[in-house]
Amino acid sequence: MIVSFDLQSFLNNNFYDLDTTQTSQGYYMYVRTSDGIIWDDAVLELQQVLQPSSVTCELEFWHHTIDDHFLSVHLIEGEDSINIWEEVFASGDQWIRVILPIGRIARPWRIQFLAEKGWGSKTIAIDDVRLVGCQFPPVRPNCTNDQFRCNRGSCVPRDRLCDFA
């Protein structure tokens, strides 16, 4: 199933009055599951190919799922897709915050959300998708005595040298 976003349709059929900021001024992405048949998929894939990430990388987002629908998150590296999270039960009529540790990824990668229609006819919504702590430490001209200088020129605390990250 190909899902397109029609802003006017969204404004006329706002399924959730408030986004995660608790105002009517924000935006969120949604899949109306009344369109399609049972087990149809809708894919939201971040088109930007992300570069290698640091060990502290996390994916943060909010979701709102009513009825028996499924939402999963996939990490895609090259041709490999790994399911890193899934919600198989309805969250009720509320926004739920999810923080997923992504960690160190050495190759370029992408994130994909997959929504699957269940038996009901409600919606699945996603809001405030953020990647946090994914950048490597910045390159510095000098490191302090309690820091180690990496080959790329960044400084890391000495107590983080052998943390297997």
Please report the domains of the chain, with CATH numbers, ordered by start residue: 7-134 (2.60.120.200), 137-165 (no CATH)
Burial class (CB in 10 A: 0-12, 13-18, 19+), 75: buried
Q: Average the pLDDT over 28-38 and give the result.
A: 64
Alpha carbons 151 and 129: distance in angstroms, whole number: 32
CA–centroid distance for 137 within its chain: 22
- The arithmetic mean of pLDDT across residues 78-95, rounded, is 82
Give me 99's structure tokens.
């923080």
Per-residue pLDDT, averaged over 77-105, amounts to 86
pTM over 0.75: no
Query: By the 8 A CB rule, do 37 and 117 touch?
Result: yes
Question: What is the average pLDDT score of the chain?
Answer: 76
Cβ proximity of 106 and 120 under 8 Å: no
What's the pLDDT at 59? Answer: 94
Show the beta-strand stretches assigned E in 47-87.
58-65, 70-77, 80-87
Would you state the structure tokens that stand for residue 44, as one six-digit string?
């939201």
Residue 165 has what pLDDT?
53
